[in-house]
């Protein structure tokens, strides 16, 4: 391998997004690592937004799921064109 060929595999302590600006430039073996570096550590919400969200107990989550399952079932049946037996 030449030095130019070796350089494209250089990834010691720097994120791949610093070495390759575009995913098209990344060697196939490192595409997943590049994507991880590109999308890791990006927080969508601030601490205040996270703290202000309601905290649900597991029982509340299960109750909500039980309520929403019939709606999802009906929507999927309508999408597939199947008439519901109800």
Give the structural domain span for 66. Answer: 54-80
Examine residue 86 and state whether it is found in any structural domain, yes or no: no
Same domain, 33 and 58: no
Examine residue 46 and state whether it is found in any structural domain, yes or no: no
Give the per-residue pLDDT at 67: 93
Least confident of 33-37, 66-70, 76-80: 33-37
Structurally, the chain folds into a number of domains equal to 2
Examine residue 49 and state whether it is found in any structural domain, yes or no: no
Gap between the terminal Cα atoms of the chain: 68
Task: Please classify residue 57 by burial: count the beta carbons closer than 10 Å to its beta carbon, then call 0-12 exposed, 13-18 middle and 19+ buried.
Answer: exposed
Same domain, 35 and 60: no
Give the per-residue pLDDT at 59: 92
| pLDDT tens, position by position, 26-62 | 888 888 888 888 876 666 777 787 777 778 888 998 9
Degrees to nearest 5, angle at CA 37 with 35 and 41? 120
* 65: confidence class by pLDDT, cuts 50, 70, 90: very high
Give the per-residue pLDDT at 43: 63
Same domain, 7 and 35: yes
Same domain, 8 and 32: yes
């Amino acid at each position: 391998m030449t030095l130019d060929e070796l350089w494209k595999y250089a990834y010691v302590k720097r994120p791949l997004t610093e070495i390759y600006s575009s995913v098209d430039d990344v060697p196939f073996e490192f595409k997943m690592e590049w994507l991880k570096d590109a999308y890791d550590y990006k927080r969508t919400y601030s601490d205040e937004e996270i703290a202000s969200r309601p905290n649900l107990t597991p029982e509340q989550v299960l109750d909500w799921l039980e309520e929403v399952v019939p709606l999802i079932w009906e929507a999927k049946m309508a999408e597939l064109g199947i008439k519901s037996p109800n």
